[in-house]
Amino acid sequence: MPVYSEKVMQHFMNPHNVGEIENADGVGEIGNPVCGDMMTFYIKVKDNRLEDVKYKTFGCGAAIAVSSIVSDMVKGKTLEEALTVTPAMVAKELEGLPKNKLHCSNLGAQALRKAIKNYALSHKVDMPGLTDTEEPEEDEHACET
């Protein structure tokens, strides 16, 4: 049996929304090459909605598929809706991830959250629960779980 679900393979082979947004409204970067995964999300916001979402990803098949599906899941959504995306939802949308790759779904959700926070702070938009809280330190052991 292959390691990855069909859905993961589809997104890995043909990832959606790859790229960078020039003059993005928000940018969120997470992970580091030591762990083997790194994602940078770019968002364009219009009327409180994610008008465009793009990303660049360094990492394994799961990391690339996660980036692609997260961009699909939140594009066109309001910022509040986008923030409700959890790693579990990402994994479910991909029809499951191998256990040792679940942290990749974390990275996707976190990178997006960081991009929205970056937008809110730079555009002085109050978002309770986001702009008024410290982000947890990046989990150094994420790559060992």
Partner 1 sequence: MRKVYMDNVAATPLWPEVREAMLPFLGEVFGNPQSLHAWGDGARDALEQAREQVAALIGGTAEEIIFTSSGTEANNMAVKGLARAKADQGKHIVISAIEHFSIMNSARTLQKEGFEVSMVPVDGFGVVSPDEVLKHVRNDTVLVSIMHANGEVGTIEPVAEIAGRLGRDGPVLHTDAVASSGNIPVDVRELGVHALSLAGNQFNGPRGGAALWVKRGVRMLPLMDGGIQEGGRRPGTEDVPAIVGLGKAAEMAATTLTARMQKLSALRHSLIDGVLGKVEHSILTGHPLQRLPGYASFCIKFIEGESILMLLNSHGIAAASGSACTSRALKASHVLLAMGVDHEAAQGSMLFTLGIDTNQEDVDYVVEKLPQVVDRLRQMSPLYSKFLKEQRG
| Strand duo 49-58 + 26-32: pairing | unpaired
Does the footprint of partner 1 cover residue 35 (CB under 8 A)? yes
- For partner 1, which residue of 11, 21, 26, 37 counts as binding (CB under 8 A)? 37
Alpha carbon 20 to its chain's center: 14
Alpha carbon 92 to its chain's center: 15
Return d(Cα 52, Cα 90) in angstroms, integer: 19
Does the footprint of partner 1 cover residue 64 (CB under 8 A)? yes
In angstroms, give the least distance from the CB of 80 to partner 1.
Answer: 27
- For partner 1, which residue of 11, 12, 25, 107 counts as binding (CB under 8 A)? 12
Return d(Cα 110, Cα 85) in angstroms, integer: 10
Q: Which residues bind partner 1 (CB under 8 A)?
A: 12-13, 15, 18-20, 29, 33-40, 56-64, 100, 143-145
